[in-house]
């Protein structure tokens, strides 16, 4: 009853203050966790990662062709073939399509596969000749494997080479590969500036952040004309 017994309208204030302290305490870690970058390089659209030679993966025991494919001969005599890390850093996540079926014979320089992003595509040509033994079915289900593990699970073909020694002569190996990759990056920068001038795009749309380094997934938002130019400049070496 009113006015006849104690009525404390602030009875719960103590608990409320405790809840507020808890809220503030949880808010900071909550905010931090929310903003922490996802380590997987899968969807890096918002990440303004800087593409320099330091972050490229270049395992030293593999042969790298000028067309940005790698090959590795295993003890069994079968070679694995795939795309190198620099290429996938440039394109970002792509859709991959095999063009050769197991059992077919290919020659060096044949069209092996296509990678595609939003109806922009790049053709991949073969660095060696041989007989295709297997294609990687896992790539159909998880195309991001090309980006995450290009040298491991992201292999494209298993091939039995017919002329290994002669054809890998023109490939890069070990330290040469690292030097070549560094030079390629510089070449990509020049290429983009020139391409920019050619197709008159806004400079801001492009790439150059602090220090003039490239943005990750450089090509992914650039238009088809730039992709065609890139094909001619970087992937069509014979």
Residues that bind another protein (CB under 8 A): 2, 11-12, 15-16, 19-20, 23, 27, 30-31, 34, 36, 38, 42-43, 45-46, 118-119, 204, 208, 221
Query: Quick one: three-class SS letters along 48-112?
Result: CCEECHHHCCCCCCCEECCCCEEEEECCCCCEEEEECHHHHHHHCCCEEEECCCCCCEECCCCEE
Report in angstroms the alpha-carbon separations of 229 from 7, 14, 36, 187, 212.
Answer: 81, 68, 36, 13, 21
We find the least distance from the C-beta atom of residue 19 to another protein, in angstroms, to be 6
- Least distance between another protein and beta carbon 18 (Å): 9
Q: Write down the least CB distance from residue 168 to another protein, Å.
A: 38
Least distance in angstroms from the C-beta of 146 to another protein: 17
With respect to another protein, which residue has the nearer C-beta, 149 or 221?
221
Which lies closer to another protein via its Cβ, residue 33 or residue 165? 33
The span from the CA of 221 to the CA of 205, in Å, is 9
Question: Closest CB to another protein among 84 and 93?
Answer: 93
Return the number of the residue (169 or 204) whose C-beta is nearest another protein. Answer: 204
């Amino acid at each position: 009853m009113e006015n006849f017994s104690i009525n404390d309208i602030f009875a719960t204030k103590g608990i409320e203050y405790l809840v507020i302290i808890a809220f503030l305490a949880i808010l900071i870690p909550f905010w931090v966790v929310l903003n922490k970058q996802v380590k997987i390089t899968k969807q890096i659209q918002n990440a303004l990662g800087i593409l320099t030679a330091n972050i490229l993966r270049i395992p030293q025991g593999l042969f790298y062709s000028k067309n940005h494919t790698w090959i590795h001969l295993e003890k069994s005599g079968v070679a694995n073939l795939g795309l190198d890390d620099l290429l996938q850093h440039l394109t970002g996540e792509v859709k991959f399509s095999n063009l050769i079926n197991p059992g077919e014979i290919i020659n060096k320089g044949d069209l092996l596969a296509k990678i595609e992003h939003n109806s922009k595509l790049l053709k991949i040509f073969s660095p060696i000749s041989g007989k295709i033994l297997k294609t990687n079915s896992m790539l159909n289900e998880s195309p991001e494997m090309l980006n995450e593990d290009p040298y491991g699970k992201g292999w494209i073909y298993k091939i039995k080479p017919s002329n290994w020694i002669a054809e890998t002569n023109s490939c890069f190996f070990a330290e040469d590969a690292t030097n070549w990759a560094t030079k390629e990056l510089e070449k990509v920068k020049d290429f983009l500036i020139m391409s920019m001038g050619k197709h008159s795009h806004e400079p801001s749309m492009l790439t150059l952040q602090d220090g003039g380094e490239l943005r990750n997934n450089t090509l992914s938002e650039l238009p088809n004309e730039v992709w065609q130019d890139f094909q001619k400049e970087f992937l069509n070496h014979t």
